[in-house]
Amino acid sequence: MNEQSLIAADNSAATAPWWKGAAIYQIYPRSFVDSNGDGIGDLPGITAKLDYVAALGVDAIWVSPFFTSPMADFGYDVADYRGVDPIFGTLEDFDALVKRAHDLGLKVTIDQVYAHTSDQHAWFAESRSNRTNDKANWYVWADAKPDGSPPSNWQSVFGGPAWTWDARRGQYYLHNFLSSQPQLNVHEPAVQDALLDVARFWLDRGVDGFRLDALNFAMHDLALRDNPPAPDNGKPRTRPFDFQVKKYNQSHPGIPRFVERIRKLCDEYGAVFTVAEVGGDDADREMKLYTAGETHLNSAYGFDFLYAEKLTPELAEAALGAWPDKPGTGWPSWAFENHDAPRALSRWTDEAHRDAFARMKAVLFASLRGNVIVYQGEELGLTQVEIPFELLQDPEAIANWPLTLSRDGVRTPLPWTAQDEHGGFTTGKPWLPLGGENIARAVDRQEADPGSLLHLTRGLLVLRKVSPALRIGSCEVLHAKGDVLVMRREAAGQVVTVVVNMGTQSARWPAEAPREGRVLVAVNNAEAGALPPLGAIVIQED
């Protein structure tokens, strides 16, 4: 872009909050960098590599859970909300991470897990001790039915009933995930107060935002009504959870009121970014509820692309269309990959087209209206690693083998050096194998190649940052037919058209796309007027 465009972009960016249109880099601590040779990534390792992250051109990092935990669900089972698990380091290490990130101009966001804790949490130990203690109602307890069966038919995400009998209280407790993740009773005002105190603890340490995990599970139906059966939609059902409409064990109408309390607290600290993770069959409605107006969360984390088996123009059009640019509608956050979903390049293309597809995908991702969340290694084009059963770590994968969510295969360590058997991730034995194909895509090898996906990603994220149209502009889908998508982005007097061919055959140039203008970026030999296989081009209209 020319100097005049850069000045206009800077002026436009100055009027928007830092998070709007931001690129956020997700770090999975176990798999980023191991600083002490125990085979598990840690906070000092993250701090040591923040220069690399800043050089990508992202605005912020999202650090997945590092809290004290027995690691039954790898940190999403929190035993101490205010503690750092020793495998990751100390609170002082976290403070050093925040300071270094801020010195580099990076914001820091972290997970908050408010729907459940670990069964090792002190709150649960007290709650289960009897029915009269101060925290007796902090979790979801219920008597057995007359025949001794669970209070309702609710099923857990990871398989089996969502209720476990506890002999100490002589009652069942609810867990929507593992039995070692008891459900908090967020209906209870004291529980809400305690969770908000946790948020304040991290805000006081300099955190700039939160991703709120499994937020639509935070409250349950107090009458404990049975969920109705789900109609057969033709999709495979691999878990009892799939046989129900989750009407009563999640999506309670009281959740938005708790969300308002979270937002009010965060507003006390200025421009804090809050994003909700909301999955499930009713996710679109709930995301709108949790982000409506100026009293709820800033954004919601869309699942549209994460589990899609194919990338299509229709998918992109539907996802973007669900978040129109109109007053009162929230701001979306997008991810093509994360720690729970298989790598996109393994889902969406074959090996023969992988490199070209990765370039096309990167252009599309950087052009979406909303925030974009880059999962570590996505900038390298990492693929899903096949983990043999004997090396599996994920409890979901072990329980549902071989029809698993494949979370281990996307959580493999990041390769830093191609010449090292463990990719420079650790001097010890990595907690999961890296995979030879991914080691060949290591950072050092791509740093040395100007044509690498890493260099392209950097250029795209910088372009997004300085382009008002791409960062915060309106979005109109002009064409979504066959394999071709055309989007028009506009802001601050800048008009940008994005043309993407998602197919492996050449496509006709759509009539809706301009044939003239300044080409900001083009990949796979695309040019104005010509769309070769997997071609993508961004054109600024004069």
Residue 538's Cβ-side half-sphere holds a number of Cα atoms within 13 Å equal to 25
Rounded to an integer, what is the distance from CA 103 to the centroid of its chain?
A: 25
3-state secondary structure of 442: coil
**CA gap 355, 348 in Å, rounded:** 12
Could you write out the DSSP letters of every residue in 50-91?
HHHHHHTT-SEEEEPP-EE---TTTTSS-SEEEEE-TTT--H
3-state SS string for 150-214: CCCCCECCCCCECEEEECCCCEEEECCCCCCCCEECCCCHHHHHHHHHHHHHHHHCCCCEEEEEC
Q: Which residues are annotated as catalytic?
A: 213, 268
Give which of 53, 26, 32, 108 is closest to 372, Cα–Cα: 26
Q: From CA 410, how far away is CA 407, in angstroms rounded?
A: 5
Parallel, antiparallel, or unpaired: how do β-strands 371-375 and 474-481 relate? Answer: unpaired
Mention every residue, 6+ apart, whose C-beta is less than 8 A from residue 493.
Answer: 8
Determine the 3-state secondary structure of 145 from DSSP.
Answer: coil
Q: Which pair of tokens denotes residue 11?
A: 């002026």
Six token digits for residue 139: 């979790």
Residue 438, burial from CB neighbour count under 10 angstroms (0-12, 13-18, 19+): buried
Cβ–Cβ under 8 Å, residues 409 and 394? no
